[in-house]
Homo-oligomer: A and B are copies of this chain.
């Protein structure tokens, strides 16, 4: 089966690592992206995103002619859709990029082709795509293999997790699931679990909703503990000595393109069945506002006491520690909001420049500022030397870890 042609549509955070991993198994892979800049970058053997181990892998597969990028698809044996599915302003899912991919490949399809959707999708999307293709191409009706196979990787560990995590393989019928299992077994070492497409679609949405709900529990707890003058981080380290308790870490909110987005795919469609999923999104969004208020109040107190406007250092603006990814980042939102009304300086060791925000090194931010608010637990902030005269707000426990 190595003698197949694979086409991956969408060369972003999932599509590019997936293309490179497939190509690394000596499988001829075509990567498709509508952005010509991205296509050119990849064809030079370079990458446009930051992810450990990715640069070397892409350079290797491009230089060896295993991966080539292009702006439009050609006939292939396997088509893999990995484009983003964001949410619209009303929080409902936007699957237009997926549907554009489907449109673009429909003329290229032949009988026995395998079409796999990896993009996060509302329940029943795979079935609707099947109907859509068979309507446009009646000659193919019942002759394609179609499956929904969500990824479940952690940014910063994508290559490792793509290869080693278990995967759920949801076919529109058992033959499609089997065909897709055969394909993934070419490059995935984790266990492959066959099911139907609808259950696989639901898996992806539920996994991220579960993570969001558990972060919301930690964030609700952090606000309650602040009210009760209890150190929430100490509390959680103690509760987690219970054999059946594993509370996640509170944070200034939830960012990224999965956990902060996917739950809306369920809550917008089934509001009466998703009270906890809906509340979790609200709580995690509220936590960001709460952090802003906490910093504002601290600034007011400082001004009151010292009769001067404080300089506030905001430590970290990426959406999680030790990456440069700013997608849906609550810390970036905090920095942007406070920059309008307060005198701030921002330290983000993973980014050299950000339009509209003054960036400084961790040491100079801590030295110059009056109030230091730690928003992201970057490794550069651990063991940082903070003069005792400074007011410290540590929303991620990075100074105590």
Residues of A within 8 A of B (CB): 123, 152, 154, 161, 165-166, 168, 191, 193, 195, 198-200, 202-203, 206-207, 210-211, 213-214, 216-217, 220-221, 223-225, 227-228, 230-231, 234-235, 238-239, 241-247, 266, 270, 273-277, 279-280, 283
Contact = CB atoms under 8 A, between A and B. Distances in A.
Contact of A276 (B200, B216, B245): B216
Contact of A273 (B168, B199, B217, B223): B223
Nearest to A286: B275
Nearest to A223: B273
9 contacts: A161-B243, A199-B230, A207-B245, A213-B217, A217-B276, A220-B277, A224-B273, A228-B270, A279-B279
Given A199-B230, A202-B228, A234-B199, A207 B242 contact: yes
Contacts of A195: 234, 238
B283 A238 contact: no
B165 A243 contact: yes
Contacts of A203: 235, 238-239
B277 A245 contact: no
Given A198-B228, A202-B225, A241 B274 contact: no
Given A217-B213, A242-B152, A243-B165, A266 B207 contact: no
A210 B247 contact: yes
A123 B290 CA distance: 23
Contacts of A168: 238, 241
Contacts of A275: 220, 279, 283
A154 to B, nearest CB: 7
Nearest to A216: B276
Given A241-B193, A245-B210, A227 B273 contact: yes
A203 B245 CA distance: 11
Contact of A220 (B193, B211, B273): B273
Q: Within the oligomer, what is the number of copies of this chain?
A: 2
B266 A211 contact: no
Interface of A is mostly: helix
Nearest to A157: B243
A199 B276 contact: no
Q: Which 10 pairs of residues, A with B, have the shortest CB-CB distance?
A: A166-B241, A224-B273, A152-B242, A220-B276, A168-B238, A207-B242, A207-B245, A207-B239, A203-B238, A203-B239
A130 to B, nearest CB: 18
A274 B199 contact: no
B230 A198 contact: yes
Among A199, A227, A231, A247, find the residue whose CB has the most chain B CB atoms closer than 10 A: A199
Nearest to A219: B276
Contacts of A246: 246
A162 to B, nearest CB: 12
A202 B279 contact: no
Contacts of A223: 273
Nearest to A241: B166
A238 B193 contact: yes
A161 B244 CA distance: 12
Among A207, A216, A247, A270, find the residue whose CB has the most chain B CB atoms closer than 10 A: A207
Given A207-B245, A211-B245, A280-B276, A266 B224 contact: yes
Contacts of A123: 228, 230
Contacts of A165: 241-243
A196 B231 CA distance: 11
A168 B234 CA distance: 11
